[in-house]
């Protein structure tokens, strides 16, 4: 498994899809799973930019992975977003007979991230929601970055540049963790 961490607008989804194509890891985005829900309450909550409860997220991750072939490798996009989720994942790995290959932190400043968000224009991208997601990133995701740094799993990658430039840097980082293209 690969984990991609980074602020909103860092290009995590674009990079995860490239990893899916080049490395054969299946893209798993908790945000995308939530957006595809038919439950109107979930859609209302998405508009706030606040993080969902761990139990709700862990349930959808568990279901997604349980439904996959055991050999299917996964690239997580937007998960884990709290240290509690990271610890849950650490515990779950052996149940699923899977291991963590690498964690890549895509580093982008808030200004650049905001500039990109404006280009994207997703339904849950109101200015208020974006601000909230930045707060959640500082408060909750940065401790996740620290968690994986302490475990020796983390690579930091400069997220400023074209999609191709950034994907080149990510590939280099993945190679250092022994992950190679198909
Ligand atoms: P994303 O598409 O990754 O930006 O996620 C969109 C929204 O879904 C986030 O702003 C959160 O409200 C929610 N979300 C996605 N992943 C998680 C997670 N791992 N924990 C809590 N909330 C999440």
Residues 150-177 pLDDT 10s: 999 999 999 999 999 999 999 999 999 9
Pairwise CA distance, residues 130 & 115, whole Å: 11
Q: Is the CB of 79 under 6 A from ligand 1?
A: yes
Pairwise CA distance, residues 24 & 81, whole Å: 24
Q: Is the CB of 6 under 6 A from ligand 1?
A: no
Pairwise CA distance, residues 79 & 58, whole Å: 9
CB atoms within 10 A of CB 107: 15
Q: How far is the CA of 46 from the centre of ligand 1 (A)?
A: 8
Residue nearest to atom 6 of ligand 1 (CA): 31
Looking at residue 27, the DSSP 8-state letter turns out to be E
pLDDT in the model for residue 51: 96
Residue 78 has pLDDT above 90, yes or no: yes
Q: How confident is the model at residue 57 (pLDDT cuts 50, 70, 90)?
A: very high
Pairwise CA distance, residues 144 & 111, whole Å: 22
Contact 29/124 with Cβ under 8 angstroms? no
Residue 114 has pLDDT above 90, yes or no: no
Most confident of 66-75, 108-117, 121-130: 66-75
pLDDT in the model for residue 182: 85
What is the pTM assigned to this prediction? 0.95
Q: How far is the CA of 31 from the centre of ligand 1 (A)?
A: 5
- Per the document, the length of the chain is 182
């Amino acid at each position: 498994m690969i984990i991609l961490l980074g602020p909103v607008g860092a290009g995590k989804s674009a990079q995860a899809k490239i990893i899916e194509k080049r490395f054969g890891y299946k893209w798993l985005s908790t945000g995308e799973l939530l957006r595809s829900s038919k439950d109107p309450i979930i859609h209302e909550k998405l508009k706030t930019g606040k993080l969902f409860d761990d139990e709700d997220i862990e349930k959808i991750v568990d279901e997604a992975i349980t439904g996959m072939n055991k050999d299917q490798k996964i690239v997580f996009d937007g998960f884990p977003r709290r240290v509690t989720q990271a610890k849950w994942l650490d515990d779950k790995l052996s149940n699923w007979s899977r291991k963590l290959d690498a964690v890549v932190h895509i580093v982008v400043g808030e200004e650049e991230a905001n500039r990109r968000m404006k280009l994207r224009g997703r339904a849950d991208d109101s200015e208020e929601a974006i601000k909230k997601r930045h707060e959640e990133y500082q408060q909750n995701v940065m401790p996740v970055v620290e968690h994986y740094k302490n475990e020796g799993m983390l690579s930091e990658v400069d997220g400023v540049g074209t999609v191709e430039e950034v994907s080149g840097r990510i590939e280099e980082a993945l190679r250092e963790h022994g992950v190679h293209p198909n």
